[in-house]
Chain A
Amino acid sequence: MSGYRLSSGGRVDRSRALSFSFDGAGYQGFAGDTLASALVASGVTLFGRSFKYHRPRGLLATGVEEPNALVSVDRGPARVTPNVRAPQVSLHEGLVAESQNRWPSLKFDVVSINDRFSALFPAGFYNKTFMWPRSAWEKLYEPVIRRLAGLGDSPVTRDPDHYDATYAHCEVLVVGGGIAGIEAALEAAKMGSRVILIDEQDELGGAALADPALWSTLDALTAQLFAADNITVLTRTTAFGYYHQNFVGASQQLTDHLAPSEAQGPREKLWRIRAGEVVLAQGAIERPLVFNGNDVPGVMLASAGRTLALRYGVAVGRAVVIMAAHDSGWRDALALIEAGVHVAAIVDIRTVVPADLADAARAAGIALHLGSAITAVAGRHAVKGVTVAAGGTGPAHKIACDAVLMAGGWTPSVHLWSQAKGSLVWNEAWGTYLPGKPQEKCRVVGAGAGAWHFGSGAITSVLPNSLPVSRQKAFVDFQNDVKARDIQLAVQEGFRSIEHIKRYTTNGMATDQGKTSNLNALQIASGVLGRPVTEIGLTTFRPPYTPQTFGALMGHHKDALFQPVRKSVIDDWATAQGAVFENVANWRRARYFPKGGEDMDAAVARECRAVRQSVGIFDASTLGKIEVVGPDAAEFLNRMYTNPWKALQPGRCRYGLLLREDGFITDDGVSARMADDRFHLTTTTGGAPRVLGMMEDYLQTEWSDLDVWLTSTTEQWAVIALQGPRARDVIASLVGGIDLSPEAFPHMAVREGTIAGVPTRLFRVSFTGELGFEINVPASEGRKVWEAIFDAGQPYGITPYGTETMHVLRAEKGFIIVGQDTDGTMTPGDMGLDWAVGKKKPDFVGKRSLARPEMTRKGRKQFIGLLTEDPQELLEEGAQVVTNPDAPIPVPMIGHVTSSYHSATLGRTIALAVIADGRARIGETIFVPMADKVIRAKVTAPMFYDPEGSRLND
């Protein structure tokens, strides 16, 4: 027990005591405390176990840079947040927190045995050890490593909280609410700008919160801030990412600082802020010193000791030793004395320090050890004392103490600046990188810009010690357990770039992103390599600056709002009929309509029989539709599609095949000429936006000579496919103004009239091989017409069918589905669709590519049918086809199965495939090797039913 609450001082409200628990034990703190300050005040030194060696770790810092004190905060079932930094957890009544990465308890952790054998865990340990056998990775290494070297556990249940999100725009965004940030915000507000000021802490003030002399100034400034009506102040808000053109992502905590019973509304809010100018006022982070024993609980940053005392009224110990390389440590020592904390000694690596500081320290009764270094720290769970040696290697003596504060100088927080691609300039005097030239309209103010108020210091690497570095427990990256010797080792093993050293040692990785370790690692690597720091490089700063919850990033985009589901106007009807649905290109489509406990196969067989024998009704509303209008409409389609369009008469339809310019099939669909200057195009369900975009591209950028307009009408038309020998009978009584007789209205014709009193574009087309109609009506009337047809069809046993039956019926006829039977490498010739290519046309999209040697060579895959020798054997879609299953591995594959179904009509299975020289193989037997057997099948033409097409011309 070392820390304690000072009798006075700090900004905590001593009249409001709060109870909380840590690892099951009860504690008390005050309003205004953080979990960290309240625990230190209660004498707790042990906050966590380190990542790799499971070394006991205490608090290092009082801000976002804290690497050790990662805890899980438990706000009830499914509301456990792991890896939260204790100094960033605002205390509230009833707070429940747990330490992490220890078992069975923080004080007695079994895995800390790793630490005894730390010589076995050098840099690159994982890379070197867990290499072979490869099979052991999945079963042995990964699970073990995950268990042993983990951070906190994520909850496994669904997050019950919800998260808000908003966009904001301002002329000036200020990140950081210290005095520099507040002044920048006030200045911008005076110019009349809209200003947003964000700060990650509960209260504004930044470093000034640990400086009572500035509190009255701070109060005056914040009063002005809140009085200005053009400044929005967001506290508990972290700017975690800085993106192009001053687009900043920030997350605001709304309820985590409240007791769960008081928390209402969204938990966090994600702000996407677009700013004219960004002012970064993020301050600087103090640098630890690298010396033997610097991770014993009770060794922390001097700035943390100062903040605990002056902001929270907490002494870090009863006898404090300062290990300094920088003047700021001396100022902190004097501030601690003034606050009533006993400072036993100041050890400074420098032999000369500013006289005023030395005099003041002496006057305060502090023992001074100049030109000296701490060479060892006694204690395991808490500091018991230090060994100090002159020059690090000279005569040593021990000092009893229970806390050590490190003052290693300051590192400006340049994370966001670097994310915005601002340049960094090495400053030799300060031993750090400072912001240079901006890429965006952005500037840095305050300590982050190197506007120091801390004095000067010495730039250090590992502090001198008579022990070799390899035998010191001198940590550089506390969170990732990287020691000075690991960086030395990495360099000795040949790593030269800091990017490589980072990945080999894990320095600066993970949630910490090197906030306290980057510069020390650079200095050590520079020393070992004997090259200046600037030649070693600097690792890339990446968002997020601090870990963010997935919930905040996701916001409202979950469940039904994750991806919009498009529903046709028949969807409700299908739902009421008990349809099973599938999603096709964001559309929800009825897949089949099971009756009386049918499974899919039974339902599909029944639906197929109904269509072949009588009549079936199918919702085809999702088909893409484009209205092509203008004097040059036919010329335009002639250039786009492989088919000739100019001779197509109004009132007639044509199957159109669309290629990309590289000659491969990209879409198809039946289109109708409604008038000389008007076409009703259809595309595949998934292809509609792509086809429209492609057509617009040619129209706008290549063929501006054409007078044509394209309009997407996909959602304007409901399309009811009525298919089967009784289809005409069903609609006969409903249709007005159209002669339905086969002579007047043949296959592939279109007529305009009415159906059930609703205007319709009635297509006589078939994707099933039966007599069929596709009835286009305005979407608003779709449900009404559907029900009228369904009623009229009752005498014929009209049967609703879904996409699965549609697939089977078209496969029986060998009609392709683009994207299933084709894969982006198939030409019209490959698919047996040469008949759809206008040979006499001088040009169309993709024509020139069809003449390339590759497109006409022998051996290209061709579309064929497959009939298995066992008529009930169902091939697997995607299965590979071979000619000789006994050939040595790798067996040459000649193609694959693209579609495969049970055909109720044929009483057997059928399949479609693309195989090399397929059409020349018709009649041959091929083989489909599966895991447990080899399936034999005969190659056929891709047409299993009514090859003459007599049924659809009925």
Chain B
Amino acid sequence: MILIHCPYCEEDRPEVEFTYGGEAHIARPLDPSALTDSEWEGYLYIRSNTRGLHAERWRHAHGCARFFNAVRDTVSDRFEVTYKTGEARPAKITQTGGAA
């Protein structure tokens, strides 16, 4: 049972309160109709499938219900940092990491 730090509640809460939301920082195109099929495929389906530090979306579904972003190590399952929606992915993550 992982503890996840909700950047809105500013609390470490057990993972059962959260739902996973896929890779982060993939913005929905402002005008999808302007995209080629291949560009739309890229937005819809193509993901980085990272081994290691991965920026991803989580939702504090059974808490504040807010979506936020996290950088998690997909090998160790360790959350390095969580941050609010709209904030840029932290440039440098130290391995000791921890809550934002």
A555 to chain B, nearest CB (A): 15
Contact of B9 with A by CB under 8 A: no
Inter-chain CA distance A851–B77, complex, in Å, is 38
B16 to chain A, nearest CB (A): 11
Picked from A421, A697, A847, A852, the residue with its CB within 8 Å of the CB of B37 is A852
**Contact of B2 with A244 in the complex, beta carbons under 8 Å:** yes
Task: Check A696/B67 contact, CB under 8 A, given A272-B1, A848-B40.
Answer: yes
Contact between B44 and A847 (Cβ–Cβ < 8 Å)?
no
Q: Does B76 contact A (CB under 8 A)?
A: yes
CB-based contact A843/B86 at 8 Å: no
Instruction: Provide 19 A-B residue pairs closer than 8 Å at the C-beta atoms, listed in order of the A residue.
Output: A244-B3, A244-B77, A272-B1, A274-B1, A662-B44, A693-B59, A697-B21, A700-B66, A700-B85, A702-B28, A704-B85, A704-B86, A842-B33, A847-B32, A848-B32, A849-B40, A849-B44, A851-B33, A852-B40
Which residues of A sit under 8 angstroms from B31, Cβ to Cβ?
842-843
Contacts of B19 in A (CB 8 A): 693
Asked if A848 and B35 sit within 8 Å, CB to CB, the answer is yes
Question: Inside 8 A of B66's CB, which chain A residues have their CB?
Answer: 700
Write out the residue numbers on chain A whose beta carbons fall within 8 Å of the beta carbon of B3.
Answer: 244-245, 274
**CA–CA, A843 and B32, complex, Å:** 7
Residues in A with CB closer than 8 Å to B93 are none
User: From A663, which residue of chain B is reached at the shortest CB distance?
Assistant: B44
A416 to chain B, nearest CB (A): 16
Residue of A244, A272, A439, A702 contacting most chain B CB atoms (<10 Å): A244
From A243, A245, A697, A849, residue with most partner B Cβ within 10 Å: A245
B2, B27, B59: the one within 8 Å of A245 (CB): B2
Q: Nearest A residue to B29 by beta-carbon distance?
A: A848
Residues of chain A in range 672-722 having any CB-CB distance to chain B below 8 Å? 693, 696-698, 700-702, 704
Q: Which residues of A contact B86 (CB under 8 A)?
A: 704
> Within the assembled complex, what's the spacing in Å between the Cα atoms of A849 and B86?
26
Distance in Å from the Cβ of B82 to the closest Cβ of chain A? 14
| A115 on the B face (CB < 8 A) | no
Which residues from B are CB-within-8-Å of A700? 66-67, 85
Q: How many residues of A contact B (CB 8 A)?
A: 26
B100 CB within 8 Å of chain A = no
CA distance A640 to B80 in the complex (A): 34
Which residues on A sit within 8 Å (CB–CB) of B35?
Answer: 848
Contacts of B85 in A (CB 8 A): 700-701, 704
Q: Given A696-B65, A848-B33, does the pair A661, B1 have CB atoms closer than 8 Å? A: no
Residue ID in chain A nearest B22 by CB atoms: A697
Q: Evaluate contact between A661 and B44: CB separation under 8 angstroms.
A: yes
Closest 3 pairs (CB-CB, A-B): A848-B32, A247-B1, A244-B2
CA distance A546 to B65 in the complex (A): 39
| Chain A contacts with B in 422-451, Cβ cutoff 8 A | 439
Whether the pair B27, A702 counts as a contact (CB closer than 8 A) is yes
* Contact call B57/A701, Cβ cutoff below 8 A: yes
Interchain CB contact under 8 A, B1 and A243: yes
Q: Across the interface, which residues of B come within 8 angstroms of A842, CB to CB? A: 31, 33
Beyond A701-B67, A849-B44, 11 additional pairs, beta carbon < 8 A: A244-B1, A244-B3, A245-B3, A274-B1, A439-B76, A661-B44, A696-B67, A698-B28, A700-B66, A848-B33, A849-B40
Which of chain A's residues 852-867 have a Cβ closer than 8 Å to chain B? Answer: 852-853
Which residue of chain A has the shortest Cβ distance to B65 in the bound complex?
A696
- Min CB distance B76 to A, Å, is 7
Which residues on B sit within 8 Å (CB–CB) of A274? Answer: 1, 3
Cβ of A853: which chain B residues have Cβ within 8 Å of it?
37
Give complex CA distance A842, B33 in Å: 8
Determine how close the nearest CB of chain A comes to the CB of B79; give it in whole angstroms: 9
Cβ-closest chain A residue relative to B33: A848
Smallest distance from the beta carbon of B93 to chain A beta carbons, Å? Answer: 17
The answer for the CA separation of A274 and B2 in the assembled complex, in Å, is 10
Given the known A-B contacts A662-B44, A700-B67, A701-B57, are A847 and B33 also in contact in the complex, defined by CB atoms under 8 Å?
yes
Taking CB as reference atom, which chain B residue is nearest A703?
B28
Residues of B contacting A696 in the complex (Cβ-Cβ under 8 angstroms): 59, 65, 67
Contact with B along A822-859 (1 / 0, CB 8 A): 00000000000000000000110001110111000000
The residue in chain B whose Cβ has the minimal distance to the Cβ of A845 is B28
Contact A843 B33 (CB under 8 A): yes
- Chain A residues contacting B44 (CB-CB under 8 Å) are 661-662, 849
- In the bound assembly, the distance between CA atoms of A849 and B59 in angstroms comes to 26
Q: How far is the CA of A739 from the CA of B77 in the complex (A)?
A: 61
Q: How far is the CA of A243 from the CA of B33 in the complex (A)?
A: 47
Closest to B34 in A: A848
Q: B residues 40-69 with Cβ under 8 Å of A?
A: 40, 44, 57, 59, 61, 65-67
Query: Closest approach, in angstroms, between the C-beta of A592 and any C-beta of chain B?
Result: 35
A851 contact set on B, CB distance < 8 A:
33
Which residues from 490 to 548 on chain A have a C-beta closer than 8 Å to any C-beta of chain B?
A: none
Query: How many Å lie between the Cα of A478 and that of B55 in the bound state?
Result: 48
Q: Enumerate chain A residues within 8 angstroms of B2, measured Cβ to Cβ.
A: 244-245
Chain B residues, Cβ within 8 Å of A701 = 57, 67, 85
- When C-beta atoms are compared, the residue in chain A nearest to B4 turns out to be A245
* Bound form: Cα–Cα A274–B85 in Å: 29
- Write out the residue numbers on chain A whose beta carbons fall within 8 Å of the beta carbon of B28: 661, 698, 702
Complex Cα distance, B65 from A696, in Å, reads: 8
Give Cα distance in the complex from A696 to B66, angstroms.
8
Query: CA–CA, A421 to B2, complex, Å?
Result: 14
Across-interface contacts of B61 in A (CB, < 8 A): 693
A848: B residues at CB distance < 8 A: 32-33, 35, 40
User: Complex formed: what's the CA distance from A401 to B65 in Å?
Assistant: 72
A502 to B49, CA, bound (A): 31
The CA-CA distance from A445 to B77 in the complex, in Å, is: 26
Q: State in angstroms the CA–CA spacing of A27 and B66 once bound together.
A: 65
Within 8 Å CB of A439, what residues of B?
A: 76
Give chain B residues whose Cβ lies under 8 Å from the Cβ of A697.
Answer: 21, 59, 67
Shortest distance in angstroms between A21's beta carbon and chain B's nearest beta carbon? Answer: 42
From B32, B37, B76, residue with most partner A Cβ within 10 Å: B32
- For window 8-24 of chain B, which residues contact chain A by CB distance below 8 Å? 19, 21
Q: In the assembly, what is the distance between CA of A269 and CA of B1, in Å?
A: 19
Q: A843: nearest residue on chain B (CB-CB)? A: B32
Within the complex, the shortest CB–CB distance from A421 to chain B, in Å, comes to 7
B96 to chain A, nearest CB (A): 11
A771 CA to B60 CA, complexed, in Å: 43
Please, how many angstroms separate the alpha-carbon atoms of A243 and B1 in the complex? 6
A847-B31 Cα distance, complex, nearest whole Å: 11
C-alpha spacing A758/B85, complex, angstroms: 42
Chain B residue with Cβ nearest A660: B44
Docked Cα-Cα span, A701 to B3, in Å, equals 23
Residues on A with beta carbons closer than 8 Å to the beta carbon of B33: 842-843, 847-848, 851
Q: CA–CA, A274 to B14, complex, Å?
A: 10
Shortest distance in angstroms between A93's beta carbon and chain B's nearest beta carbon?
A: 40
Taken together as a complex, chains A and B put the C-alpha atoms of A272 and B44 apart, in Å, by 40
Distance of A701 Cα from B23 Cα, bound (Å): 13
Looking at B19, B27, B67, the one whose CB has the most chain A CB atoms below 10 A away is B67
Distance to closest chain B CB from A564 (angstroms): 14
How far is B16's CA from A27's CA once the two chains are assembled, in angstroms? Answer: 50
CA separation between A253 and B27, bound complex, in Å? 53
In the complex, A938→B84 CA distance in Å? Answer: 57
Shortest Cβ gap from B72 to chain A (Å): 11
Q: How far is the CB of A274 from chain B (nearest CB, A)?
A: 8
Partner of A421, one of B1, B40, B76: B76
CA distance A696 to B40 in the complex (A): 22
Chain A residues, CB < 8 A from B57: 701
Q: Give Cα A244 to B65, complex, Å.
A: 24
Q: Which residue of B lies closest to A704 (CB)?
A: B86
Beta-carbon nearest neighbor of B2 in chain A: A244
B81 to chain A, nearest CB (A): 15
Query: Which of A243, A274, A693, A848: most chain B Cβ within 10 A?
Result: A848
Distance (whole angstroms) from the CB of A664 to the closest CB of chain B? 12
Task: Please name all residues of chain B whose beta carbon is closer than 8 Å to the beta carbon of A272 when the two chains form the complex.
Answer: 1
A245 to chain B, nearest CB (A): 5
Instruction: List residues of chain B with CB within 8 A of the CB of A698.
Output: 28
Q: How far is the CB of A563 from chain B (nearest CB, A)?
A: 15
